[in-house]
Amino acid sequence: MKVGFVSLGCPKNLVDSEVMMGQLVARGHELTPHPDQAEVLVVNTCSFIDPAKKESIDTILEMAEYKKVGRARKLIVAGCLVERYRGDIRKELPEVDALVGTNELESIVALCEGEPSARNGIEPYLYHDLTPRVLATPRHFAYIKIAEGCDHPCTFCVIPQYRGAFRSRRFESVISEATRLFSQGVREINLIGQDTTCYGEDLGLRDGLADLLARLAAIETPHQKWIRFLYAYPNKVTQKLLDTMAANPSLVKYIDMPLQHSSAAVLKRMKRGASGDIFLKLLERIRRTIPGVAIRTSLITGFPGETAADFEELCQFIETARFDNLGVFTYSDEDTSSSYRLDAKVDGRTMQNRKRRLMAIQRKIARARNRSLVGAETSVLVEGHSRETDLLWEGRQPTQAPEIDGVTMINDFEGAEPRAGEIRRLRITESHDYDVVGTLLAPTERFTPLAGAPLINISPVPAC
Ligand code: SF4
């Protein structure tokens, strides 16, 4: 049977799609990137904020058309939208033939084959190192989900309602999966979860993430490797974690740590605690421990009760903090979130204006930062030819995470022609607001090009 997948949402959802594709391929089914050739279409949805919900429904309706014009006989909807709106989907989207919740990934084969699903969707699910999985990312980088669910009480967030309580994967399961991925030629592994810094707490581990990173860094590989983790929770960033990152060259000097706001009053209403001053001290400790570290954060504008003074404080905070990468989202008033019941809602135009203002401040910071890099040398993971033109190659520095940060364009090279998956030195010769351009230097290690291409279509949406 030919099955077509569309995966929406964040990298955590992408791994779920890869697990479902792995099950199907393990049972002899074929994956196709062409929806008009698929007999079964699967849309893995996201639903944590309004724009994500809208994109999910639009994509479901778009794929439903292939049941009229293509070979598709069945349309299956999976993921977070199912967890939140299972009943509504059944009632309002008759085009949909079956539903797969986030704890029912292993029922995908039965549902595609028209058999009843054995999974009840109640048992919390988390894949492991023996779970069949098809990588949907380019062959040189991969995500590993090290935990699922979340126990934090952030009032604007509905993710714990449908991803469940926090649970870590077994230590050795992650190590064995990473070892296998590196042996298959993967150069960069990105560890993900709703909150990676809680890793191991439910297994009785103190500083579980630091210990896991140290073990991953010790994995023997015939080539350079990069290990990154995303989604750190600020008050879980320990000194041991920072020291471990500073001590291991293959742990990239990069921290993604959503802070959401800097006003103590707003953070209190978000049930996240802390304040801008506390965060500035944390940033100072991070930069002191890991020289040259890149720090990314995410912020929300328009949270209920955010005053003009709170917002001015936030503007001042990012001027001072000087993040390397920043994502800004407008508050989404989710009807099942506890912030939905808060007063002093901020109107949509004000939210958008505040988002634009923060991004304008950040653009200046990013431009100045990139300008200061001209002439410097850095490492680059070559991604392949640029998406814009074959005359350029595209790569990423350790300070640039996949899909969410700027890129490094390669317009010249010394020695061998650039190849996807190579890690080489580069001299930065030109800068733009979010991207830089440079010359790739001659290779310093032998490199075996990686065969094979991604299998499904992806469209990124914002991270939690
Ligand atoms: S925002 Fe992140 S940390 Fe907070 S509850 Fe949601 S998933 Fe958990």
pLDDT, tens digit (0-9, with 9 covering 90-100), for 358-417: 999 999 999 999 999 999 999 999 999 998 888 899 999 999 999 999 999 999 999 989
Alpha-carbon dihedral sign for residues 219, 225, 229, 235: positive
Six token digits for residue 7: 């995966």
* Best probe residue, ligand 1, of 49, 157, 299 (max atoms within 8 Å of C-beta): 157
CA pair distance 459, 327, nearest whole angstrom = 17
Query: What local confidence, expressed as pLDDT, does residue 259 receive?
Result: 98
With 50 as the cut, is the pLDDT of residue 418 above it?
A: yes
If you measure from the C-alpha of residue 48 to the centroid of ligand 1, how many angstroms do you get, rounded to a whole number?
Answer: 11
pLDDT of residue 20: 98
Q: What span, in angstroms and rounded, lies between the C-alpha atoms of 246 and 240?
A: 10
Instruction: Give the nearest ligand 1 atom to 195 CA.
Output: 3
Centre of ligand 1 to C-alpha 228, Å, is: 19
Q: Locate the ligand 1 atom nearest the alpha carbon of residue 152 and give its number.
A: 5
CA dihedral defined by 449, 413, 428, 143, rounded to 10 degrees?
-10
Atom of ligand 1 nearest to the CA of 272: 4
Furthest-apart CA atoms within the chain: distance in Å: 62
Model pTM score: 0.94
Confidence of residue 463 (pLDDT cuts 50, 70, 90): very low
353, amino acid identity: N
Cβ 217 vs Cβ 178: under 8 Å: no
For a substitution probing ligand 1, which of 194, 271, 334, 337 has the most ligand atoms within 8 Å of its CB? 194
pLDDT at 197: 98
Residues within a 6 A CB radius of ligand 1: 150, 152, 154, 157, 159-160, 194-195, 233, 464
Shortest-distance Cα residue to atom 1 of ligand 1:
157
Ligand 1 centre distance from Cα of residue 294 (Å): 22
Nearest atom of ligand 1 to the alpha carbon of 158: 6
Determine the pLDDT at residue 445. Answer: 76
Mutation probe of ligand 1 site: the residue of 145, 192, 195, 270 with most atoms within 8 A of C-beta: 195
- Residue 241 CA to ligand 1 center (angstroms) comes to 20
CA dist list (Å): 237 to 197, 252, 253: 7, 16, 14
150 CA: nearest ligand 1 atom: 8
What is the number of alpha carbons within 13 Å of residue 407 lying toward its C-beta? 18
Q: How far apart are CA 58 and CA 358, in angstroms?
A: 29
139-143: average pLDDT: 96
Q: How large a percentage of the chain has pLDDT more than 90?
A: 90
Q: How far apart are the first and last CA of the chain?
A: 35
**Which residue ranges make up each domain of the chain?**
2-112, 374-440
User: What one-character DSSP code corresponds to residue 345?
Assistant: P
pLDDT at res. 449: 63
Q: Ligand 1 centre and the CA of 154: distance in Å?
A: 6
- Identify the pLDDT of residue 451: 54
Measured CA to CA, the distance from residue 60 to residue 100 in angstroms comes to 14
* pLDDT mean over 27-48: 96
Instruction: Determine the pLDDT at residue 444.
Output: 80
Q: Do 187 and 139 form a contact (C-beta atoms < 8 A)?
A: no
Confidence of residue 443 (pLDDT cuts 50, 70, 90): confident
What is the percentage of the chain residues whose pLDDT exceeds 70? 95
Pocket test for ligand 1, best of 83, 145, 154 (most atoms within 8 A of CB): 154
CA 321 to ligand 1 centroid distance, Å: 22
pLDDT digits (tens, 9 = 90+) for 263-315: 999 999 999 999 999 999 999 999 999 999 999 999 999 999 999 999 999 99
Ligand 1 centroid–CA 398 distance in Å is 25
The pLDDT of residue 339 is: 98
Minimum CA distance residue for ligand 1 atom 6: 157
Residue nearest to atom 4 of ligand 1 (CA): 154
Task: Name the residue among 68, 11, 74, 12 with its Cα closest to residue 43.
Answer: 74
Which pLDDT score is estimated for 127?
97
Among 159, 166, 337, the mutation site with the greatest number of ligand 1 atoms within 8 A of its Cβ is: 159
**What separation in Å is there between the alpha carbon of 277 and the centre of ligand 1?**
22
In angstroms, what is the span from residue 413 Cα to ligand 1's centroid?
43
**Ligand 1 centre from 47 Cα, in Å?**
14
Q: Which two tokens stand for residue 172?
A: 């050795």
Cα separation of 242 and 262, whole Å?
Answer: 22
In DSSP notation, 380-441 reads EEEEEE-SS-TTSEEEE-TT--TTTS--EEEEEESSSPP-TT-EEEEEEEEE-SS-EEEEEP
> Does residue 390 or residue 220 have the better pLDDT?
220
Residue 455 has pLDDT above 60, yes or no: no
Q: What is the CATH number of domain 2-112?
A: 3.40.50.12160
Ligand 1 atom nearest to 194, measured from its CA: 7
Q: What values do phi and psi take at 189, rounded to 5?
A: -115, 130
* 334 Cα to the center of ligand 1, angstroms: 14
Higher pLDDT, 417 or 121: 417
Q: Which of ligand 1's atoms lies nearest the C-alpha of 157?
A: 6
**Residue 366 burial (CB count, 10 A):** 23
Residue 315: other Cβ atoms inside 10 A: 15
Q: How many CB atoms lie within 10 A of CB 24?
A: 22
CA distance 7 to 9: 7
Q: Which atom of ligand 1 is nearest to the CA of 48?
A: 6
In the CATH hierarchy, which fold is given to the domain comprising 374-440? OB fold (Dihydrolipoamide Acetyltransferase, E2P) (2.40.50)
* Whole-number pLDDT of residue 457: 47
What pLDDT, on the 0 to 100 scale, is given for residue 115? 83
Q: Ligand 1 centre and the CA of 132: distance in Å?
A: 28
Q: Residue 458's pLDDT is what?
A: 42
Burial zone of 119 (CB within 10 Å; 0-12 exposed, 13-18 middle, 19+ buried): middle
Q: Ligand 1 centroid vs 156 CA: distance in angstroms?
A: 9
The answer, yes or no, to whether residue 459 has pLDDT greater than 70, is no
